Structure 1
């Protein structure tokens, strides 16, 4: 850290999609600000995802309102490098004040004067407000149950790039959200024997009656489902834009050779135990899937739409043996499994932010991103304000709310009564 001191109204930490979005809105409102990013703009899209990843929503949907993707059809699914390039180009469009390669190490509220003092690799920064736009994906989580290092090669999905990086043998993928199910399917296509440990999940259709599920969630008002709905913050979604997009179907994966098992419970040497809950999780995923079809059909009737019927969407394949006769215990060595990929999510890391706005589990206390600690804001978190908050377009709208809140607070601070006028 240098002795250089910078003064700004609002400091934004992080220049991923959240940081770029809030910078656009602050720029529009004429609010002086600075965005610090410890890597490159949208670096997580480049290095924190596997090589073949594409967006889980179509290009017309998974973007900011002010710019479309170059060289991608509206109904296509955008490769991750192109997503990162998109945010770089978007920031350039309005000359965002982003400084890359600068890590923030500490932020504290000032005593007996307004604002915050922030320590960074570029020196001290004095700011009236701080927007934590680092998102939820800072620390990959591998459960404590993971076996100690040894014969089995273990990585988190954040470190997975392609099948060739794994040693020979089968692979156990733990977690069947978007990351886990897509990685499992990619490994299957590469000729690997795959076991997929399935937990609670939502399973929407990729498309129904000639409309993508993102469109259906929009017209049905489901993107605006409020934050805090019981269970929703912790339920992952099994959806994929890979190979042009397809509906995740666990029965089809099993028919294609993926061995489905329940949630991973424990390890004893090379033996792993699974909970007897696979059928329940598949059934609840089916319920989620069918509920969207029902809501879509009702919307079509209510609106007199002529969208084509799709009765085949309600037909399920027969339950595979792994569902009716679940495997509860597996000897990894005997099964020839050489790798475990933990697709088990992330933890946010706000250790640099030393303010009173976290609960006992170090989760931010906020309302729509406005923290309990005045002058602190959070952006880019799932369910920040609604279901759509974790998606690219949802971050943009959450950022607008926060920027408008900052503008209002600035007006209060700048107020002078008539008697105070010089």
Structure 2
């Protein structure tokens, strides 16, 4: 049986895969993009109904296509984001094949390249780009037993307040997903408990500029002007409800019971760490540091941006902070649902090559793996803070495409 051949196979047609394809098209490098569902599927079916982009439309896009139906400062809803990537792929006729699942990638025997096994047959490629993104397998701690009498789901399975069983809701996780879901549930009339850990809490806007702009001018996207940030700390920023600064005290004052970290469960009682105040103070420190750096930047560069003294005000502590709750009885509080907004983990079991650390994480430098011909794109911290964001992965893809072009030149020399 004849095996199809190409230079590069890109696995995944989300933002990373589409960005990679654009650069390879521009360079004239033959390739195929394989996607098991639809283009940008996770935006459609693995997010809640009210999700919007975390950055405004002028920023959360690729350089060569603007949104034609939303204002620059709008946070586009998830369906519009999915359609954007479809439009982008059509713009340069990306060779995307949807409904094709990659089941295994293995090294060719006795020659360069890889055999890509799919649900539609095999493809032989000289290179493979894993562009499956950071949101692969929902991850949450198995703290609460399955027989605890509550519905447990990951944030990727949450859709809207009406889809949940009756009763109060415990949301675990203080990042963008957790705080948005908790606020939506509270506004719908639900009793809500929100368990948070240490987090990074920047202002959504300051002095008439969105935080993504401040990230750029203060060097925080590239992380070359700041002290290294802590790893695995929740990033508490959102575009929900037109975009506003995440403030856990504000949530507490609107009726959400904010808690410290969830640590254990015994006989239906959740144990909460006594770390809420420390976590809030650490978030305040990060927030005020940004304001301070922004003010210094404005003064140093003589930029005419209006001062915003009210941004320095910290809301009063709600009762759940002054008298923290350290145990939550699920039955007594009538909690019917626990939503775990605790992130994702990698699953590269299909990629059977020598490109991983002992713990299963990719071993790479700027997306170029230890296995010649294997690349990673769209992962957090691939190059810098921007790497898993829409605009950042486009530039990472350009770097990897350039590397592929160089390797093709080496291959051509060896074959002369």
Mark yes or no: TM-score above 0.5. yes
Find the counterpart in structure 2 of residue 163 from structure 1. 161
**Which SS does the other structure have where 1:107 is aligned?**
strand
Aligned to 1:74: 72
1:22-421 mapped onto 2 (5 Å cutoff):
22-225=20-223, 232-415=230-413
In the TM superposition, what is the alpha-carbon distance from 1:150 to its structure 2 partner? 4.8
CA contact (8 A) 2:168 2:333 kept: yes
The Cα of 1:321 is off from its aligned counterpart by 2.1
Q: Is the 8 A contact 1:134 1:380 kept in 2?
A: yes
Alignment check: 8 A CA contact 1:251 1:317 kept: yes
Structure 1 residues 4 and 85: alpha-carbon distance in aligned structure 2, compared to 1, 3 A threshold: farther
CA-CA distance at 1:5 after TM superposition? 2.1
Query: 1:100 and 1:4, CA in 2 relative to 1: closer, same or farther beyond 3 A?
Result: farther
CA contact (8 A) 1:369 1:378 kept: yes
CA contact (8 A) 1:233 1:383 kept: no
Structure 2 CA distance for aligned equivalents of residues 149 and 94 of structure 1: 51
5+ long unaligned stretches in structure 1: none
CA distance in 2, matches of 1:320, 1:382: 34
| Cα distance, 1:231 vs structure 2 | 5.4
Q: 1:70, CA displacement in angstroms? A: 2.4
8 Å CA contact 2:134–2:388 kept in 1: the answer is no
1:363-386, CA deviations, whole angstroms, 9 ceiling, x for partnerless residues? 000011000111000001011100
Contact 1:4 1:124 in 2 (8 A): no
**Secondary structure, aligned partner of 2:39:** coil
| C-alpha separation in 2, matches of 1:328 and 1:233 | 26
Please tell me the root mean square deviation across aligned C-alpha atoms, in Å. Answer: 1.5
CA distance in structure 1 between the partners assigned to 2:3 and 2:256 by the alignment = 56
Give the deviation of 1:264 after TM superposition.
0.4
User: 1:269: Cα distance to partner?
Assistant: 2.1
Q: Normalising to structure 2: TM-score of the pair?
A: 0.98
